[in-house]
Structure 1
Amino acid sequence: MTPDPKRVVLAYSGGLDTSVILRWLIERYRCDVVAFCADLGQGEELIPVRDKAMRTGAVAVHIVDLREEFVRDFIFPMLRANAVYEGAYLLGTSIARPLIARAQVEVAAKEGADAVAHGATGKGNDQVRFELTYAALAPQLRVIAPWREWELDSRTSLIEFARRHDIPVPVTVERPYSTDRNLFHISYEGGVLEDPWAEPPAKMFQLTSDPEAAPDVPLTLEIAFERGDPIAVDGERLGPAALLTRLNRLGGEHGIGRVDLVENRFVGMKSRGVYETPGGTILHAARRALESITLDREVLHLRDSLVTRYAEMIYYGFWFSPERLILQSLMDDCARDVTGTARVKLYKGAVTVTGRRAPRSLYRT
């Protein structure tokens, strides 16, 4: 019989699920719980996290700033591959999970923990993404997935548990849909969104203006790339996180990047997700325009034939797999000549390419 863990590092966000899980772990296993929170650009959401975790019973809290690493080492490599899942999803949640899980096992090593825990449900993709990373990087750690163990079987029951234990949570019975936010996007699922015919509430969106209410005057941007990675906006060189933040703001003002789709989960179910990815949508359009004049036809077609498989690897949680690393080498090699500038126009939810130039352009007049 496996002994109960003595010290658990929980991937903690301060939201409903992980707030309840923190208290549940303490009561169920009589163990110390260390709360780990990755700062991936959630912004104001992180302000109350440390205090909430300690008041809920954590013996320690680690908030690790991963924003620059997230954009530079995860988002940008994914963008080099033009990864899009099922034609629409830019993988904002999927790409964050391997970084969170990797940082979590690093905290576990520092804390001398013998287990890690996550708040992913037994029906979703995130349980696979977290646990594949744990298995790849720290197979000796026990993995606790409360959603596969406890008797709390609905969001309403979690809210009731939280109220009984005086745990403050930002979710109510009346508004139960969940969100996941980072520097690349924000996602919404559950609650009223479970009906695929129901239109998302207008007040739900946080990053983007309603395209119909966006400015009547278009905004033109020039985005410079070097070896496939964006480096400047309108001539101003910016670091990865700052550049994405800038494009998120500008794109959001013009209603760029809203997506509503029903996707096929790794576990076999269909799930509706609504996403806002303003900066990523702009970068995809700009980079693709630059590729059109810098990549050889056969190279471009070969690369594109592998994009679906690459996107599936990220969506399914295989970021640290040898096959993803092999494909990444090919994607990076394809991007070596993608240096130049693309000009795009933002107008009422649409990104339109209006120009592209490159020092090693293959286009001839």
Structure 2
Amino acid sequence: MKFGRIRSFDDLDVVARHARHVLTLFSGGLDSSYVLKELAERNCRVTALAMDVGEGVHQKDLQEIAARFGATLELVDMREEFAQQAVLPAIRAQARYLGIYPISSSLSRPMLAQCAVETAVRLGCDAIIHTANQSQNSLRRLNGAIAQLGYEGWYGTPYEFSAMTRDEKIKILSQAGLPRFQARGISGDANLWCREFESGALENPEAFWVPESLYEWTAPRDLGALPRELRVSFDAGTPVALNDERLPLQELIARLNRLAGAFGVGRYCGLEHLDFGEKVLEVREAPAAHVLMDAYRHLETATLDAELLREKLGQEQVWVREAIEGRWFGHLRDAAEAFIARTARHVTGTVAYTLRPGAADVCSIRADRPLYLCDRDGWEKRVARERAHTRLSHDMTSTQEIYA
């Protein structure tokens, strides 16, 4: 049997006739729930794979929807793996889209695809179905990752060629006994690194507004009892402590999102390109990303020489480009990451910030093996003495040679 890409709901008919077991990426949202309904009507054996990368998972809701359509739910906690394998390299690579905002789904989608492929192989699934559509860059990121990982079954999304409105899917699911979904508004995606939003009131870049209710980490709150100073410590390029307390990376990120976010630090807005060059607007909040990438840049400038840093800037752009274009498991991103990881070995120290509404101001950079000067006057005097001594020695040698 020759396997191929899934691009439409008609393709599901082929999958239903030949696949013994189908794996779907399942978030409990409208699109993935609708796909479960379509597969149930085709009498497919289905495992619905839900993966937690830090956005929170409502297991009871997921179980209810999966059971309604006869699917087996499998839930995987990927928070630690996501933090170590995706977020940590992103910090070191200064992974911002065109230097504007931290990338997010470019990090999570390859991790989800990898988990899906591993699960499909373990369960003997002939097909992997996700629910990205034409206006979502997740389409090329998920498809690209699944292909690069060498999966040999059917894979793809029926929404690539079968476009449906949100209202159409809501009506059909309601008729099937699932009336919980609402008409289209602002849609979002979240993980432990970033919360991002698009569509609805954010549809038109020329005239949009962002409801304050969207924000969670950066929502306004009483700052009276909160500390005004943050200290972030790194060991060989890895964040290891917050305010001198050693923490696992995912917990350190979670605390930074709350502490820096309380001061409104880490709100972003920007355009991102689709496959054929069109642009869509996204708004996001990522307080921990703001602080950690800024602190990392300060520490590496304190510990790496200028030429190495200039070369690293180019490798960062390669790393980010390959991630956002869906080539996470390609050789080029892997090579760029190896270069960046090599430089990270020298990045050890602590950066301190003073927090104020809307900003985190650096107030201390302390590296274990610094290249910076702490006493310019003292350095000037020492260097002047050394150079004068070197010049005097040179002059005396030259004189002796003349009269020799």
TM-score range, shorter chain: over 0.9
Map 1:251-262; keep pairs closer than 5 Å. 251-262=260-271
CA drift of 1:317 comes to 1.4
Contact in 1 for aligned 2:21/2:44 (Cα 8 Å): yes
Tell whether the 8 Å contact from 1:97 to 1:130 is kept in structure 2 after alignment.
Answer: yes
Partner of 1:82: 94
Question: Are the counterparts in 2 of residues 285 and 351 from structure 1 also a CA contact under 8 Å?
Answer: no
What is the 5 A alignment of 1:92-107? 92-107=104-119
| Secondary structure of the corresponding residue to residue 104 of structure 2 | coil
In the TM superposition, residue 167 of structure 1 has moved relative to its aligned partner by 2.3
Alpha-carbon distance in 1 for matches of 2:249, 2:360? 21
Q: Which segment drifts farther, 307-316 or 332-341?
A: 307-316
Task: Report the CA distance between 1:177 and its aligned residue.
Answer: 1.7
Q: Compute the displacement of 1:353 (Å).
A: 1.2
For 1:308, the equivalent position in structure 2 comes to: 317
Pair 214,312 (structure 1): closer, same or farther in 2 beyond 3 Å? farther
Find the counterpart in structure 2 of residue 114 from structure 1: 126
Give the match for residue 206 of structure 1.
216
* Correspondence for 1:158: 169
Aligned match of 1:290? 299
Could you tell me how far apart the structure 2 residues matched to 1:325 and 1:144 are? 24
- What is the letter of the counterpart of residue 107 of structure 2? I
Find the aligned partners of 1:45 and 1:302 in 2 and give their Cα distance.
44
Residue 318 of structure 2 contacts residue 333 of structure 2 at CA under 8 Å; is this kept in 1?
Answer: no
Shift of 1:190: 1.1
Instruction: Determine the C-alpha separation between the residues in 1 that align with 2:60 and 2:327.
Output: 31
Q: CA–CA distance in 1 between the matches of 2:136 and 2:68?
A: 29
Once residues 349 and 211 of structure 2 are traced to their aligned partners in structure 1, the CA distance between those partners, rounded to angstroms, is 40
Query: Match of 1:321?
Result: 330
- Structure 2: how far apart are the matches of 1:97 and 1:46? 20
Q: State the Cα distance separating 1:285 from its structure 2 match.
A: 1.4
Shift of 1:315: 1.1
Spell out the pairing of 1:273-288 with structure 2 (5 A cutoff): 273-288=282-297
Give the aligned length. Answer: 358
Q: Which one-letter code corresponds to 1:329 in the other structure?
A: A
Secondary structure, counterpart of 2:370 in structure 1 = coil
Deviation at 1:346, TM superposition (A): 2.4
SS, match of residue 94 in structure 1? helix
Cα shift at 1:57: 2.6
SS of the aligned residue for 1:355 comes to strand
Residues 21 and 45, structure 2, Cα contact 8 Å, conserved in 1: yes
Q: Which residue of 2 aligns with 1:330?
A: 339
The answer on whether the counterparts of 1:84 and 1:307 sit within 8 Å (CA) in structure 2 is no
The Cα shift of 1:289 comes to 1.5
What's 1:299 paired with? 308
Is residue 222 of structure 1 aligned with residue 236 of structure 2? no
The answer to whether the 8 A contact 2:185-2:200 is kept is: yes
Q: CA deviation at 1:218?
A: 6.8
| Matched ranges for 1:141-152 at <5 A | 141-150=153-162, 152=163
Name whichever of 183-192 and 112-121 sits farther off: 183-192
1:14-61 deviation line (CA, Å, top 9, x unaligned) = 01111111111232x431111001111122544522232222331x11
Distance 2:114 2:40 in 1: 23
Residues 202-234 of structure 1 deviation map (CA, whole Å, 9 limit, x = unaligned): 222222124xx6637772111100111100001
> Is 1:21–2:32 an aligned residue pair?
no
User: 2: CA distance between counterparts of 1:347 and 1:51?
Assistant: 44
Q: Give secondary structure in 1 for the equivalent of 2:32.
A: helix
1:360 aligns with 2:374: no
SS for the counterpart of 2:329 is: coil
Q: Which whole-Å CA distance do the structure 2 matches of 1:46 and 1:256 have between them? A: 31
| Residues 125, 342 of structure 1: alpha-carbon distance in 2 compared, 3 angstrom cutoff | same
Q: Give 3-state SS (helix, strand or coil) of 2:84's partner.
A: helix
Cα RMSD, aligned residues only? 1.8
**How far apart, in 2, do the equivalents of 1:307 and 1:99 lie?**
20
Worse overlay, 141-150 or 291-300: 141-150
Q: Secondary structure at the match of 1:361?
A: coil
Q: Which has the higher mean CA deviation after the structures are superposed, 153-162 or 295-304?
A: 153-162
Maintained 8 Å contact 1:289/1:353: no
2:96 counterpart SS class: coil
Q: Does 1:188 align with 2:193?
A: no
Question: 139-148 or 232-241: which moved more?
Answer: 139-148
Gaps of 5+ in 2: 4-13, 376-404
1:240 matched to which residue of 2? 249
* Contact 2:117–2:151 (8 Å) recurs in 1: no
Which of the numbers 163, 172, 183 marks the counterpart of 2:182? Answer: 172
AA matched with 1:50: Q
Q: Which protein, 1 or 2, shows the higher relative CO under an 8 Å CA cutoff with sep ≥ 6? A: 1
Larger radius of gyration: 2
The residue identity in structure 1 corresponding to 2:103 is: L
What is the TM-score of this pair, normalised by structure 2?
Answer: 0.84
1:241 aligned counterpart, secondary structure: helix
Q: Secondary structure at the match of 2:230?
A: strand
Distance 1:276 1:233 in 2: 20
Aligned to 1:36: 49
Shift of 1:343: 0.4
16 and 108 in structure 1: CA distance in 2 versus 1, 3 angstrom threshold: same
| Partner SS state of residue 159, structure 2 | helix
Percent of residue pairs identical: 33
Could you tell me how far 1:331 is from its partner in structure 2? 0.4
Q: 1:144 Cα deviation (Å)?
A: 3.5
| Cα 1:287–1:47 shift into 2, 3 Å | farther
Give secondary structure in 2 for the equivalent of 1:357: strand
Is this contact kept in 2: 1:25–1:33, CA < 8 A?
yes
Which letter does structure 2 place at the counterpart of 1:100?
Answer: L
